[in-house]
C-alpha cells in the first residue's frame, strides 16, 4: 500500500512539473524584469523606433538575433541595407523598412561588420564579415548593390582561441589601406588579424593578441582616429590603438565604469560610432542590464553625455539589446542618419515574436539626450 501511495505521489509530481513546463512554454517572457525596470526608470529621456525588421527564423523564446551592420551601395546610394546576425544559424539582409531580402544559413553568426574598397582579384569590392561560432572563425563575403552576399573563394580567418569566437569588428587603416579583423572570446582574449586577397583565397596573419580582465564582446574601430573600443561587459569600455604598432596596453573610459554611474547596469554590449567630422562625433553603447543606451563624445576622453531608452510607439519598445549600429547619412526620412538596435523581446501587440532589429531616427536620439 505504501509503495502504491509513493507511486501516486511520484505520478502527481511529474504531472505537476509537466503542467508548469507547459505554462512556461506558452507564456511570453516578461518584457522587463523588476530589477531592470527599477534601473531603467532612473533614465528619463526616451525615443521610439520608426521601423523594425522581420523577425529572424528562430523560436520566440530563443536568444537569437544579435548584431546589425549597415551597408550603403556605392553604385546606388539610395540602396541602404541592414545586415543582421542570427546566432542560432545565419545572416539576414533587410531593407531600411525591415523587409527581409535575403537569408543565409551560414552558421552561428554573432557579430557583423562592413568595410568598403577591399582589393580582390584586381578590383575593389565591398565586404561584410562576421564571427562564426559554428566554424570558430571570421567569415568574409562580398556584398553587392542588391544586398546579396557572395562567397569569396576562401574567405575565412580561423582563430587560435581555445574558447569559441564571440565579439568581432573590422578595421581599415586609411594610411596603409591594410584591412584587419578583431576577434574576441568570452575569456576576455582579443586577437587582431591582418588579411588580404591572395590569388583565389584570403591570406591572413595574426599580428597582435592581448587580454582584458573579464568577458568582452562589443567592439568598434574608429578608422579615421586609429582607435579601437572594446566593451568589458561587467566593467567598462576600453580604448586601444587600432593599428598593431600600438602594442597591447589600453585605457579605460573613466566615465564608462559601471560601478561609478547609477544609470549603468551590466552588461555593456554593442558599440557603434556616429562621426560628425573626421575627428568629432559620438560613441554609442547598449547598456543591456537596464535596457538603455549611453552616449559618449568621440573625441578626447570620451565624455559621457547621457542615456536614453526606447519605448513603445509605432512599433514596440526595445529590451535587452546586444548589438547596434549607427550611420550619419542624409536620407529623406532620416536627414542626419539613424540607429539600428537589436531587440531581445519583440512584440506585435501582446504577441511575442522571434527577436528582430529596430530602426531609430538619429534626430530623436540627439534631441532626447542633448536637447538639440
- Does residue 5 fall inside a structural domain? no
Q: How many domains does the chain have?
A: 1
- Does residue 36 fall inside a structural domain? no
- Does residue 10 fall inside a structural domain? no
- Does residue 339 fall inside a structural domain? yes
Per mean pLDDT, which range of 77-81, 125-129, 237-241, 316-320 is the poorest?
Answer: 77-81
Determine the pLDDT at residue 41.
Answer: 84
40: left (phi over 0), alpha (psi -120 to 50) or beta: alpha
Peptide bond between residue 139 and the one before it cis (omega within 30 degrees of 0): no
Closest to 234 (Cα-Cα) out of 264, 254, 191, 206:
264
- Does residue 95 fall inside a structural domain? yes
What is the tens place of the pLDDT at every residue in 85-129?
A: 999 999 999 999 999 999 999 999 999 999 999 999 999 999 999
- Does residue 115 fall inside a structural domain? yes
What is the tens place of the pLDDT at every residue in 202-249?
A: 999 999 999 999 999 999 999 999 999 999 999 999 999 999 999 999
Closest to 192 (Cα-Cα) out of 177, 203, 205:
205
- Out of 142-146, 158-162, 355-359, give the one with best mean pLDDT: 355-359
Q: How confident is the model at residue 32 (pLDDT cuts 50, 70, 90)?
A: low
What is the tens place of the pLDDT at every residue in 194-203?
A: 999 988 789 9
Per mean pLDDT, which range of 2-6, 143-147, 334-338 is the poorest?
Answer: 2-6
Say if residue 174's pLDDT is above 90.
yes
- Does residue 222 fall inside a structural domain? yes
What is the tens place of the pLDDT at every residue in 255-276?
A: 999 999 999 999 999 999 999 9
**Range of 286's domain?**
43-370
Q: In what order do the strands lie in the sheet with 165-172?
A: 165-172, 179-185, 189-198, 201-211
| Residue 330 near residue 347, CB atoms below 8 Å | no
Per mean pLDDT, which range of 63-72, 151-160, 283-292, 347-356 is the poorest?
Answer: 151-160
Q: How confident is the model at residue 11 (pLDDT cuts 50, 70, 90)?
A: very low
* Span 71-78, average pLDDT: 83
- Does residue 38 fall inside a structural domain? no
State the CATH number of the domain containing residue 83: 2.120.10.30
Say if residue 290's pLDDT is above 70.
yes
Determine the pLDDT at residue 4.
Answer: 45
Amino acid at each position: 500500500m505504501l509503495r502504491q501511495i509513493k507511486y501516486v505521489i511520484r505520478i502527481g509530481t511529474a504531472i505537476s512539473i509537466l503542467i508548469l513546463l507547459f505554462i512556461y512554454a506558452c507564456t511570453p517572457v516578461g518584457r522587463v524584469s523588476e530589477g531592470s525596470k527599477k534601473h531603467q526608470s532612473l533614465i528619463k529621456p526616451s525615443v521610439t523606433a520608426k521601423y523594425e525588421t522581420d523577425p529572424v527564423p528562430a523560436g520566440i523564446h530563443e536568444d537569437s538575433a544579435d548584431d546589425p551592420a549597415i551597408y550603403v551601395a556605392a553604385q546606388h546610394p539610395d540602396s541602404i541595407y541592414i545586415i543582421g546576425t542570427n546566432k542560432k544559424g545565419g545572416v539576414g539582409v533587410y531593407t531600411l523598412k525591415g523587409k527581409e531580402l535575403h537569408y543565409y544559413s551560414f552558421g552561428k553568426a554573432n557579430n557583423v561588420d562592413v568595410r568598403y574598397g577591399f582589393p580582390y582579384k584586381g578590383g575593389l569590392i565591398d565586404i561584410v564579415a562576421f564571427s562564426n561560432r559554428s566554424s570558430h572563425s571570421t567569415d568574409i563575403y562580398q556584398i553587392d548593390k542588391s544586398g546579396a552576399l557572395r562567397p569569396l573563394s576562401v574567405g575565412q580567418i580561423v582563430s587560435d582561441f581555445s574558447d569559441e569566437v564571440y565579439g568581432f569588428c573590422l578595421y581599415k587603416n586609411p594610411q596603409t589601406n591594410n584591412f584587419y579583423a578583431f576577434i574576441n572570446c568570452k575569456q576576455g582574449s582579443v586577437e587582431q588579424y591582418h588579411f588580404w586577397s591572395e590569388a583565389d583565397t584570403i591570406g591572413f596573419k595574426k599580428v597582435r593578441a592581448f587580454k582584458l580582465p573579464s568577458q568582452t564582446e562589443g567592439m568598434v574601430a574608429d578608422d579615421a582616429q586609429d582607435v579601437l573600443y572594446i566593451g568589458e561587459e561587467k566593467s567598462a569600455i576600453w580604448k586601444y590603438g587600432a593599428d598593431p604598432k600600438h602594442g597591447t596596453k589600453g585605457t579605460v573610459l573613466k566615465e564608462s565604469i559601471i560601478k561609478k554611474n547609477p544609470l549603468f547596469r551590466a552588461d555593456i554590449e554593442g558599440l557603434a560610432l556616429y562621426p560628425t567630422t573626421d575627428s568629432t562625433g559620438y560613441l554609442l553603447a547598449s547598456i543591456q542590464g537596464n535596457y538603455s543606451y549611453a552616449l559618449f563624445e568621440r573625441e578626447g576622453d570620451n565624455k559621457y553625455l547621457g542615456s536614453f531608452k526606447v519605448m513603445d510607439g509605432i512599433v514596440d519598445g526595445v529590451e535587452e539589446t546586444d548589438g547596434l549600429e549607427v550611420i550619419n547619412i542624409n536620407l529623406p526620412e532620416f536627414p542626419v542618419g539613424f540607429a539600428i538596435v537589436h531587440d531581445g523581446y519583440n512584440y506585435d501587440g501582446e504577441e511575442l515574436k522571434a527577436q528582430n532589429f529596430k530602426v531609430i531616427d538619429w534626430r530623436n536620439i540627439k534631441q532626447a539626450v542633448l536637447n538639440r
